[in-house]
């Protein structure tokens, strides 16, 4: 498990580098301005780029995209790039950009980069913007250049970075919900797409080893996760109701949006502005059930399958009954450890460029 605990501590103040020069071709600077100069108020937009994403494809595609980015946004925006240098760096970059008053922070990459940027919008259990109480709001944006890019599918966005730049140029904003996950340590972890428990979380953990195979890595990860897998009885509490026992749970998915795993429409009724999660539970699945119903998982018709249930929730607490402390938890494809966990909705927590 990759720990991001260091990102919770206050950071040393960083400064944007402003320069009337083109971006260095080797993408070596940590943060470099791509355009600047007008005397009127210009939007300041920070692009958080993981150049190693998708086995290095993100960095290469970002280089190709820069001329178009300059031509569309350079006349009325100060454009800054911030290259991540390792795990959790995107969290720190985002927090500092918000503190310095950026108008928008754009995640450039896949769902992992987006996940870090989303977590950067929060600090100490509250939105970063709440700490300075200035009233300024920084928007979240996305240019999908990663392996999965599942979050953008919910909005029906094309997997085309130029389309994303057009959205950023228009600057239309809307409020979306976020999820927060808390465990026994009390630390908070945030997500905007899908959090999941047990087999699907384990599959995501294994899939991360096969990213060179593109979206097929999720199928490989799921098949590998089935080896040695045992369905488990779970105790679940929804919206502060009574504890319920769900027997032989294969996977439990908590959706703020619809897709995960490279295009599986796992929580087909979820919407990021609905103010609640869709919770989908798969029970007593064998490996052959997964294979037989794979097409239904991708097209979102699996809710009609026996042993699949769905419900809405604002909060859901999940515990294992056996006490093995071996049931995986992940959110937005990032491994978080094991149960128990509580998942809570934060209505309208983030303003997103849509």
* Per-residue pLDDT tens digits for 244-255: 999 999 999 999
* Per-residue pLDDT tens digits for 185-239: 888 999 999 999 999 888 877 877 776 666 677 777 777 887 878 999 999 999 9
pTM: 0.86
**Confidence grade of residue 177 (pLDDT, cut at 50, 70, 90):** very high
Q: What is residue 139's predicted lDDT score, i.e. its pLDDT?
A: 97
Q: What is residue 158's predicted lDDT score, i.e. its pLDDT?
A: 85
**Confidence grade of residue 134 (pLDDT, cut at 50, 70, 90):** low
Tell me how far apart the alpha carbons of residues 266 and 260 are, in angstroms, rounded to a whole number. 7
> Helix 57-73 to helix 161-170 angle, to the nearest 10 degrees?
40
| Position 57 pLDDT exceeds 90 | no
Handedness of CA 271, 188, 102, 133 (dihedral sign): positive
**HEC letters along 255-304:** ECCCCECCCECCCCCCCCCCCCEEEEEEECCCHHHHHHCHHHHHHCCHHH
Instruction: Name the more confident of 333 and 235.
Output: 235
* Residue-averaged pLDDT of the chain: 85
Q: What is residue 290's predicted lDDT score, i.e. its pLDDT?
A: 85
Q: What is residue 262's predicted lDDT score, i.e. its pLDDT?
A: 83
Catalytic (active-site) positions? 111
| Position 180 pLDDT exceeds 50 | yes
Question: Across-strand partners of 78?
Answer: 44
Q: What is residue 9's predicted lDDT score, i.e. its pLDDT?
A: 32
* Per-residue pLDDT tens digits for 270-298: 999 999 999 999 999 998 898 899 899 99
Handedness of CA 155, 7, 83, 60 (dihedral sign): negative
| Position 342 pLDDT exceeds 90 | yes
Give the phi and the psi of residue 168 in degrees, each rounded to 5: -65, -40
Q: What is residue 223's predicted lDDT score, i.e. its pLDDT?
A: 78
Tell me how far apart the alpha carbons of residues 159 and 41 are, in angstroms, rounded to a whole number. 31
For the purposes of burial, counting CB atoms within 10 Å of the CB of 6, is it exposed (0-12), middle (13-18) or buried (19 or more)?
exposed
Q: What is residue 40's predicted lDDT score, i.e. its pLDDT?
A: 55
| Position 174 pLDDT exceeds 90 | yes
Q: What is residue 133's predicted lDDT score, i.e. its pLDDT?
A: 63
**Confidence grade of residue 114 (pLDDT, cut at 50, 70, 90):** very high
Which three-class secondary structure state does DSSP give residue 224? helix
* Per-residue pLDDT tens digits for 1-34: 444 543 333 333 333 333 233 333 332 334 445 5
**HEC letters along 338-353:** ECCEEEEEEEEEEEEE
**What's the average model confidence in pLDDT over 136-158?**
88
């Amino acid at each position: 498990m990759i720990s991001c605990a260091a990102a919770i501590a206050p950071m040393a103040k960083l400064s944007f580098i402003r320069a009337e020069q083109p971006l260095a071709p080797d993408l070596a600077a940590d943060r470099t301005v791509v355009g600047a100069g007008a005397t009127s108020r210009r939007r300041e937009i920070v692009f958080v780029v993981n150049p190693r994403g998708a086995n290095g494809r993100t960095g290469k595609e970002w280089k190709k995209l820069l001329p178009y980015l300059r031509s569309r946004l350079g006349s009325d925006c100060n454009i800054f790039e911030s290259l991540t240098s390792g795990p959790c760096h995107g969290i720190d970059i985002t927090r500092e950009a918000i503190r310095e008053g950026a108008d928008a922070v754009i995640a450039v990459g896949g769902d992992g980069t987006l996940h870090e940027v989303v977590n950067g919008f929060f600090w100490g259990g509250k939105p970063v913007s709440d700490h300075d109480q200035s009233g300024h709001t920084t928007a979240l944006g996305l240019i999908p250049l990663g392996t999965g890019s599942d979050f953008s599918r919910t909005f029906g966005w094309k997997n085309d970075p130029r389309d994303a730049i057009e959205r950023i140029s228009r600057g239309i904003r809307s409020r979306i919900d976020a999820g927060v996950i808390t465990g026994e340590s009390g630390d908070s972890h945030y997500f905007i797409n899908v959090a999941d428990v047990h087999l699907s979380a384990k599959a995501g953990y294994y899939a991360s080893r096969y990213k060179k195979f593109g979206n097929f890595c999720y199928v490989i990860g799921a098949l590998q996760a089935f080896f040695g897998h045992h369905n488990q009885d779970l105790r679940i509490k929804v919206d502060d109701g009574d504890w319920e026992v769900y027997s032989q749970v294969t996977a439990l998915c908590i959706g703020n949006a619809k897709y995960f795993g490279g295009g599986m429409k796992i929580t087909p009724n979820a919407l990021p502005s609905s103010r609640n999660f869709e919770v989908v539970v798969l029970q007593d699945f064998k490996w052959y059930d997964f294979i037989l119903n794979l097409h239904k998982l991708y097209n979102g018709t699996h809710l009609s399958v026996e042993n699949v249930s769905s419900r809405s929730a604002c909060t859901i607490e999940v515990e294992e009954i056996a006490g093995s402390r071996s049931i995986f938890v992940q959110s937005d494809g990032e491994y978080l450890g094991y149960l128990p966990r509580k998942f809570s909705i934060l209505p309208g927590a983030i303003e997103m460029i849509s």
